[in-house]
A and B are shown apart, each in its own frame.
Chain A
């Protein structure tokens, strides 16, 4: 069982032909629209009504191997195991023979609900659950039909198991023997799907298909691509976002042996940069180091964290655009000052810093181009390359490369990395060029989780529960200036306010406002998006209110949760039960912190056992429970939750922040931007899944929001302090 990226494999002719014939059947979208139209103005995605033909997704080889196309980027989240699992289960395929391939950009592989080929919003399983099951059921039906015709029996008399069709008279035929016959049969429109009780694979722990090649060095990631005659490019970008090249001296750069060309390229949003192309990384790097560039930074806003904080704090004290208005806005006036709590929070810019640095390879042949990229937005990135090169998207073959993490960083609506690579390829016609962003380029390159300020004023009722809640959030919009800008309603971008404006708690008088300042720093969704900061604010405040009310933090939450917050409630109950034993006998100097939050349709609750060692939190144990519908692959869910918890801790680790001074990013690599290492991670994380027969909801992002507030709530017990500014540079 393996996962292969297809970039170096030839498509079977049948599928290639099929893809071009049905290129517009799936969504019927004009790719170019994505460049300048809001998503809401575009044609909807194909939806679940479209009947996806198996030929584009499943190939049964004569040796019994079943190759399944994965319509998503695999970058750690396990989708290249889970989607094949769904298909194979309905198909009754022999799982040990299943091979997953990452599909190239093509209309047929667009997200059935969202209309573009993408990974995001913890939606890969949610939006392809039905699609991949139907594909499996359709494939099975065609194989059964082929066998039934051969045996002159009714299909209903046949049964299937482990890639074999069994007939009523003891006949049997392997799928591989029936495949070519089945391929000529009409694709059935209606198919019967299994009941959850009939699943053979779904719901059981399935080890990843891609483990072994990732443990022996044989897995080829995008950065590992090696093509005949390939060159490597590095780019010297302006020190302030939006800067332009005034002039450059490339004499020393060109004197480096192995440097092949040095030239200016345009950047997105009006900037420009200098590309250095070499025979390999090191010559290109040396060339870039020796390059003398004079930058034109005139007229640019010089973002500066200290100045931004001053501005954000002021804004947080004024109402902005209305994000939520529930109950009476004057309710606070009736609450005495002694029963009010005012809290101001600050969150810095955060980089995604996936382990595989950003890269894209492009070869431009004049009338067509080929691209190799780890992309969360294949449709958008393919169109961007086409636009730069003056081609149609269909003239750009776009390979989806196996990718080393992303966390949102490879879902960029302006496709700036692919555009840079295409600009370089345009000049280097006929030569494949791999653009590599160094780690410094990545840490300093923008597209961060935005910085945010929150100010909440809470009026507490006589019963200790919040009566009135006034909350202002300040932070750049993620959607403004992108094709998704149509999602901004009444001046409010709900990717900034989600988790507060739609809080899971029943607060009788809730008023939420948002300010979205424009800042010259590119921003982007960071795993769990707005919930990264909103859950922190809500869950630390709820904890503080529980403490004031002298109530158990779990009981307090349960009392305050809105009646329809069923998933969080179920997660809270399970977490409480599973952690009861250890929570009741904490060692001296240890404390437990609780947090619960729903995001991407999934309810999550967590308890963290924390002590303080060398002035920093030491996390001994985390128990986390989640209600996420059917867990397609519980092993993968466990991994995602364990990993998501560590990712969420990125918010706390000292040095875990991006700051700017006079327009320039102050950090440059992992020595100055510090992610969690093993020592900052919990010693143990036990994950519990609420049994469910509901449709699957999000997995990748929902674990991220809960851990930072849980840890900080434990710290508050140990130190008596509240922590409202992240990261925790000191306790």
Chain B
């Protein structure tokens, strides 16, 4: 076990864990930030997506030892992010969620994507969101919500 100094959602946090522990489980079990979800553990579903140094990253695939010193942002901080807030509002306005379990990851992916691509085409959306699984099948509404958020961010 080692103790790591992490910067999560702008706050300094400390976690004592085995160096191989994925960031996902440090966020969920050590820091009690359970908005980040476990879906597959192999980076295939996107439910655990967080922002690491501003990029959308699957937190199941990076260990706590790899992220020390880099800013980590989770779904819990999206309401304080101007793009994040817009995306969340668009999600609510379009009644996107069903079970909702994958939606933290969908929103985190969408926010990082919209920051890079403020005027996305359908193809851009499919390319960026195309590796996140929603078993409830909310994809049509995710597309609509992203387009709406992009409109409002103009």
Contact = CB atoms under 8 A, between A and B. Distances in A.
Interface string A619-648: 000000000000000010001101111110
Given A439-B39, A684-B140, A226 B133 contact: no
A211 B34 contact: no
B6 interface: no
A330 B134 CA distance: 49
Contacts of B133: 355, 670, 675, 677
A224 B34 contact: yes
B19 to A, nearest CB: 11
A216 interface: yes
A286 B18 contact: yes
Contacts of A76: 97-100, 136
A647 B139 CA distance: 11
Interface residues of A, number: 63
Contacts, number: 186
A646 B21 CA distance: 34
Interface string A666-708: 0001110001111101111100000000000000000000000
A40 B87 CA distance: 50
The interface centre, meaning the residue of B22, B98, B99, B136 with most chain A CB atoms within 10 A of its CB, is: B99
A669 B92 contact: no
Majority SS of interface residues in chain A?
loop
Given A215-B92, A215-B107, A357-B38, A405 B99 contact: yes
**Chain B contact patch, size range:** 35 or more
A505 to B, nearest CB: 28
Contacts of A404: 37, 99-102
A317 B33 CA distance: 57
B35 A218 contact: yes
A217 B34 contact: yes
Nearest to B104: A217
A353 interface: yes
A216 B76 contact: yes
B86 to A, nearest CB: 12
B131 interface: yes
A683 B122 contact: yes
Contacts of B143: 678, 683
A245 B97 CA distance: 42
B116 interface: no
Interface in B3-61: 17-18, 20-22, 25, 28-30, 32-42, 44-45, 47
Interface of A: 75-78, 207-208, 210-212, 214-221, 223-224, 226, 232, 257-258, 280-283, 286, 353-357, 403-405, 407, 438-440, 635, 639-640, 642-647, 649, 669-671, 675-679, 681-685
17 contacts: A215-B96, A215-B100, A216-B79, A217-B35, A217-B76, A219-B100, A223-B37, A224-B28, A282-B20, A355-B47, A439-B39, A639-B138, A643-B98, A671-B44, A675-B135, A678-B143, A684-B140
Give 10 nearest A-B pairs by CB, closest first. A217-B35, A646-B137, A404-B101, A214-B100, A76-B99, A76-B98, A217-B75, A643-B137, A670-B44, A224-B34
